[in-house]
């Protein structure tokens, strides 16, 4: 897992004008890094939506609202942002301390570098360039609480008998989890593989409380014109097809470069 620190460590109302997607465990905000503005979040048909500007860099800001550490397995367009694998819940993610906030700014290339997230037309998105265009247009954050070792009560010492010594109590640590849309005026928006940037993280250990996420936060995105065409801005019924933020796949360690 990737641990983040202050330096950054590595693990019928359709539009509400909030700047984040609020969950029980965390808040997720999409930030336009070129304008510095948090993108307005619209709610339609059970999904959060934001409007991206083609060519602009963006970040996924995650804030831990819980009282303990969280693992945030993060995907963009159905691709794990750490490894570049088709995303699955059981993969690596970023680890947040209680109350911690961090901006995920790109596809991780190493513990010290990312390739920036950039809003781009679908054919130039990282997912499409690597042959996986089916889930372009969605950000997913799967949140896991941490499993802690059980608390063991040791009773008062027992005096040894004449025939045998007293037995010592021993606790074993818990095992690891076992394992038909309206017409749109423009091409859909995706996320490109932008310029390399410095972003430092370190590795850390994290044991999940359970196999499945305690919470999943989804944010769908497209251009402002397309959201208007779909009836999301102004309010609509949000009947566009629903992509999957975590199609399952094995994960390499870091995100590979796209072909070409």
Report pTM. Answer: 0.74
- Tens-of-pLDDT digits for all 260 residues of the chain? 655 533 344 542 233 446 667 788 999 999 999 999 999 999 888 899 999 999 999 999 999 999 999 999 999 999 999 999 999 999 999 999 999 999 999 999 999 999 999 999 999 999 999 999 999 999 999 999 999 877 666 667 665 544 433 333 333 333 344 444 444 456 889 999 989 999 989 988 999 999 999 999 999 999 999 999 988 887 544 445 567 788 775 556 788 888 87
Q: DSSP states of the chain as a string?
A: -EE--SS----------BSSEE-SSEEEEEEETTT-PBPPBEEETTEEEEEEPTT-EEEEEEEE-SSS-EEEEEEETTEETTT-SBP-TTS--EEE-TT-EEEE-EEEEETTEEEEEEEEEGGGSHHHHTT-GGGTTEEEEEEEEBP-PPP----------SSSPPPPP--PPPPPPP--PPP-SSPPEEEEEEEEEE---EE----BSSSS-SEEEEEEEEEHHHHHHTT-SS-----S----S-------SSPPPPP-
Every domain of the chain and the residues it spans: 2-148+178-229
């Amino acid at each position: 897992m990737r641990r983040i620190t202050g330096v950054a460590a590595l693990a019928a109302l359709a539009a509400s004008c909030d700047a984040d997607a609020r969950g029980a465990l965390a808040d997720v905000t999409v930030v336009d890094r070129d304008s510095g503005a948090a993108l307005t979040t619209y709610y339609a048909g059970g999904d959060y939506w934001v409007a991206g500007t083609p060519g602009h860099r963006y970040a996924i800001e995650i804030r831990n609202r819980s009282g303990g550490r969280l693992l945030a397995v993060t995907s963009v367009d159905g691709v794990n942002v750490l490894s570049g694998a088709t995303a699955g819940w059981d993969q690596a993610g970023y680890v947040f301390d209680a109350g911690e906030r961090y901006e995920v700014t790109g596809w991780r290339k190493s513990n010290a570098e990312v390739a920036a997230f950039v809003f781009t037309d679908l054919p130039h998105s990282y997912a499409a360039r690597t042959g996986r265009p089916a889930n372009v247009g969605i950000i997913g954050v799967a949140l896991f609480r941490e499993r802690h070792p059980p608390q063991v009560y040791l009773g008062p010492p027992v005096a040894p008998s004449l025939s045998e010594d007293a037995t010592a109590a021993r606790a074993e640590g818990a095992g690891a989890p076992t394992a038909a849309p309206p017409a749109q005026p423009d091409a859909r928006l995706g996320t490109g593989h932008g310029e390399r940037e410095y972003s430092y993280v370190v590795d850390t250990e994290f044991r999940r409380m359970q196999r499945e996420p305690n919470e999943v936060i989804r944010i769908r995105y497209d251009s402002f014109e397309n959201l208007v065409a779909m009836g999301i801005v102004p309010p609509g019924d949000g009947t566009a097809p629903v992509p999957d933020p975590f199609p399952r796949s094995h994960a390499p360690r870091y995100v590979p470069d796209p072909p070409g």
